[in-house]
Structure 1
Amino acid sequence: MSTNARLQANPRIDAIEQVCSKELLAQTAPHDTAPPGLSETRSDGPLSSADDVEQYGLSWETRAALEHSHCRLSLESQSGHSAHRTSMDRETSDTDGNTYPEGGLEAWLVVFGSWAGLFAALGLVNTIGTFQTYLETHQLKEYGYRSTGWIFGMYAFLTFFCGVQIGPIFDAKGPRFLVFAGSVLVVVQMITLGFCTQYWHFMLVIGVTGGLGASLIFTPAISAIGHFFNEKRGVATGIAATGGSVGGIIFPLILEKLFPLIGFSWATRVVGLICLILVLLACLLVKSRLPKKPASKENVLPDFRIFREPKFALTTAGIFFIEWGLFVPISYISSYALAHGVSSQFSYQILAVLNAGSFFGRWIPGYVADSLGHYNTLIATVALCLVCNACLWLPAGDSVPVLVVYCIIFGFASGSNISLAPVCISQLCKVENYGRYYATSYTIVSFGTLTGIPIAGEILSQCNGEYWGVVTFATCC
């Protein structure tokens, strides 16, 4: 397009450009050859055409520089048609000078990939109540609560414990290989689960293989979001974390429906096929923005010296107690319902009700926390967990309506743990160390998940099958 045609296209832009051109000419033109009155209004009119440019000896190269100067930026803000400018407006930065896109197609595709990965990995973790209740009445019925509790305690333990090494590797090398390895293990877990008949089979497949697979997906999926969001990190992490809740809703319902129709083996393989599709999406979409680091000792090995920071140590201790009690209702709510005369069908479905409440509890508090503060919101939701355990679950008994209300409220209140706890940790470190801090914290937290379920099972045995001790333990946590 010719210069005259472009200048005449918009009279308002033309006028602005004329003023900017005169200002830049006054600064760049040689003083001994500068035309008289250049910085003032010309007697015969403003500088407005290519002929005027040539008359004053201004080259086309200088003209091009004029078009891309700060005057051009001013024109773009006036017209409002610059996509680049819109992108810059969306970016934010932290105190360390790191910039974050805070949105855009690439960032939200990472959130979707994390959502899919957590759907498969944490969805199965949130279904442990269904697996535990079924195994206690079928394949492992000769074992007590405490013995079966160790299988699922190991499952939850490795989901978090392995992050102590996975986190630094993620910081150094990115999430691709980690998510792929975890995806393979999750699919292998669900395919081989149907062949298990003995206690050690289930410990190896669910406890070890499932725990490792979930950890390899969980840590990178959560940490990668922190590379793309800063101010909106809470809501973005919350949206991704809802994948685990959706899995916790759908998987128990699928299993409850398919167990009597096609049996345990094929029911778990159907879930495995769903997981295969989800983890493929995670492998394709979860990525990092930061450059890779060399595989040195400093970059890939855990560093427990960060616990010298009081804020980090206290935050980790708080999350430990949350997780110590969190998995107790998830693991025992179905068996609790069965023990109090609720139908077998609804006893399996009650876990889906709890995870439905968790769906909203992972998203809404994350949205609110970006405004009110992540620590403030997490403290409020944990307090709500305490209240509904003491005031609803403890006196529920065989009252199905009270049990349903409890599951909804507790699911909502406890759901914020997955979405907000990682964001609280991210406030204590630089983004390039996020994976290390997050994984190191959850390594300590994992011992709570390892012991919480078996301790609850031991309490249940000592109380002769009465659940008041289990509820009291969860409330104290």
Structure 2
Amino acid sequence: MDHNHHLDGYMTGSSGSDSHHDLPSLPPAKSSAHDLKQVTNSFTMQDPRLESVTAKSSKVDVGYPEGGPEATRTTLGAFLILFVQFGLMNSFGVFEAQYSTVNLKSKSPSEIAWIGTFQFFMFFFSGAFVGRLFDSFGAKPLLFPGIVLLVLSLIATSYCYDYYQFFLAQGFLFGIGASLTFYPALSSLTHWYERKRGRIMGLVTAGSSLGGVVFPIALNKLIPAVGFPMAIRIVACIAAGILLPAGLLIRTRLPRRPFNGDVSSLVDLDGFKDLGYVLFLAASVLTMLGTYNPYIFVTVYSQSRHFDPVITTYILSILNAGSFFGRLIPGILGDKLGFFNILSIALAIAGPVLFCWLAVSSAAGYVVWTVFYGFFSGAFIALLPACIGKFTPDPTKYGGRAGMVFAFVGLAVLCGPPSAGALIARDHGSFTEMIVYSGVMCVAGAALYWAARFKATKGELFIKF
């Protein structure tokens, strides 16, 4: 077995264990520390390249099943969780349109965008802590409190009348619940797959896009039929019916990373010693400042241009449908060509496509643009978790390292859509300045991803990375 292959995979697994599996490479439980050292040394002698890595992290090769009943159930559970959790978050364009015309019509687009923005901020920023907690405690102690918070937040939203109530229920509460469900579900996959990790990550994150297709259509049909409050309560019941069984399907298998009770250990700062990681982090922040804005304002734009109401109703679902394939296909290609390579290329195309929004002059053109942008922007969420593994040599630290990346992305989310909404207001309802701002951020992010890749590969262009 090539032990170095498992240490230098495209995305290293995180720790945590909800089910107890014997690790064939480890000595029996009653073996001494000396026995464990002998096992570790045997690995090093088999492949001298492992000496420095083993000395640094004391890590042994645990192998990856790459399938099997438990891996399949975990994949299905993660798919269903992202279908609901991220699907509802990707549906905020429907809420933006509803609030701007009915519930909160006295508020500006920027003020309303703050609700969805803060939701994403809490989701991403909490990842810095949730990821580290997953490393120590596994998935289920985080998943089920998160599911309860998600459902409660929807029910609370259905009873809201004032701006601050929507902000707390949909922005704060849902964001925390989303964080507690997303990171354990996604990180659990790294316990089961290495060689197939790209396609599995692509498949699971495509569930979020599928949810982003289904939930906007459901909301647009339910709200006129039964009213906004009842529509949200129905969605809450559907969410509970999917999330609870999905949580039971999730399994982990790698050893847990000890937690000494020190709160400061919840934050992983070691990566900042690596310039490549810092460039990667900066690229992710700039990319999020631009790429997410269309998901917030795509429905409002259609309304402002007085496109056919049918187009306005389904345009967010069309965008998420494009994103579905943009998450599935790049994941498959990433296994073959390298996750970083595919992500860098996709974002280098997404930036110019975003600028093409300026040239849209008809409903048909808008639909075509939406599909293309959804496809190329979809690779960002699909491949970002896999690319984090490139800067995480120790698999027991993946949750913490991923959480730190998403925490900084959360800061970008906190600034991006409100800034875009402010530009729309300053431009007297025109979307031109917002589109230019979003396009510049996306292009700048793509450039920094290429810089991070250049640093990590020492200038090698034609390699799988």
Q: TM-score, normalised by structure 1?
A: 0.78
Distance 1:137 1:266 in 2: 18
* Structure-2 residue corresponding to 1:352: 317
If asked which structure has higher relative contact order (CA below 8 Å, sep 6+), I would say 2
Q: One-letter code of the match for 1:208?
A: F
Q: 1:395 aligns with which of 346, 350, 359?
A: 359
Q: One-letter code of the match for 1:307?
A: F
Where structure 1 has 5 or more consecutive residues not aligned to the other structure, the ranges are 1-93
1:128-143 aligned at under 5 Å gives the runs 128-143=92-107
Post-superposition CA distance 1:84-138 (Å, at most 9, x none): xxxxxxxxxx985231111112112111111111111101110011111110111
1:288 shift after superposition: 1.4
| Aligned positions, number | 382
**339-348 vs 189-198, which deviates more?**
339-348
Post-superposition CA distance 1:176-231 (Å, at most 9, x none): 01111110011111112111100001000111001101111111111111111112
Q: 1:280 aligns with which of 233, 244, 251?
A: 244
* Structure-1 residue corresponding to 2:410: 446
| Secondary structure of the structure 1 residue equivalent to 2:318 | helix
1:282 shift after superposition: 2.5
**121-130 vs 292-301, which deviates more?**
292-301
Alignment partner of 1:150 is 2:82:
no
Q: One-letter code of the match for 1:443?
A: A
Alignment partner of 1:310 is 2:258:
no
CA contact (8 A) 2:311 2:363 kept: no
CA contact (8 A) 2:74 2:188 kept: yes
* Structure-1 residue corresponding to 2:299: 334
Q: One-letter code of the match for 1:341?
A: H
The 4+ residue runs of structure 1 with deviation greater than 6 A are none
Distance 2:75 2:277 in 1: 26
| Secondary structure of the structure 2 residue equivalent to 1:115 | helix
* Structure-2 residue corresponding to 1:110: 74
Distance 2:191 2:176 in 1: 24
* Structure-1 residue corresponding to 2:389: 426
* CA spacing shift, 1:326–1:281, aligned 2, 3 Å: farther
* Structure-1 residue corresponding to 2:458: none
1:370 shift after superposition: 0.6
* Structure-1 residue corresponding to 2:234: 270
Superposed CA RMSD in Å reads: 1.5
Alignment partner of 1:404 is 2:359:
no
* Structure-1 residue corresponding to 2:378: 415
* Structure-1 residue corresponding to 2:435: 471
CA contact (8 A) 2:308 2:363 kept: no
**364-373 vs 341-350, which deviates more?**
341-350
Distance 1:276 1:122 in 2: 14
Q: 2:88 aligns with which of 98, 104, 124?
A: 124
* Structure-1 residue corresponding to 2:143: 179
* Structure-2 residue corresponding to 1:241: 205
| Secondary structure of the structure 2 residue equivalent to 1:287 | coil
CA contact (8 A) 1:325 1:474 kept: yes
Distance 2:309 2:140 in 1: 41
Q: One-letter code of the match for 1:311?
A: G
| Secondary structure of the structure 2 residue equivalent to 1:138 | helix
Distance 2:156 2:310 in 1: 25
| Secondary structure of the structure 2 residue equivalent to 1:99 | coil
Distance 1:113 1:461 in 2: 42
Q: Which of the two has higher C-alpha Rg?
A: 1
Distance 1:455 1:380 in 2: 27
Q: One-letter code of the match for 2:73?
A: L
CA contact (8 A) 2:343 2:380 kept: yes
Q: TM-score, normalised by structure 2?
A: 0.80
Distance 1:98 1:363 in 2: 28
| Secondary structure of the structure 1 residue equivalent to 2:379 | helix
Q: One-letter code of the match for 1:250?
A: V
Q: 1:289 aligns with which of 253, 259, 280?
A: 253
Distance 1:288 1:189 in 2: 27
Q: One-letter code of the match for 1:337?
A: S
Alignment partner of 1:190 is 2:150:
no
CA contact (8 A) 1:116 1:281 kept: no
CA contact (8 A) 2:327 2:379 kept: yes
| Secondary structure of the structure 1 residue equivalent to 2:118 | helix
Q: 1:301 aligns with which of 266, 271, 276?
A: 266
CA contact (8 A) 2:271 2:391 kept: no
1:292 shift after superposition: 3.0
Post-superposition CA distance 1:367-390 (Å, at most 9, x none): 001111110000111012112111
Distance 1:442 1:434 in 2: 12
Q: One-letter code of the match for 2:337?
A: L
Post-superposition CA distance 1:437-456 (Å, at most 9, x none): 10011111111111111000
Distance 1:291 1:119 in 2: 28
1:298 shift after superposition: 6.1
Distance 1:286 1:307 in 2: 32
| Secondary structure of the structure 1 residue equivalent to 2:254 | coil
Distance 2:211 2:282 in 1: 28
Post-superposition CA distance 1:162-187 (Å, at most 9, x none): 01110110001101011111100111
Post-superposition CA distance 1:378-410 (Å, at most 9, x none): 01110121121112x11113x111111111111
Distance 1:106 1:216 in 2: 21
1:293 shift after superposition: 4.0
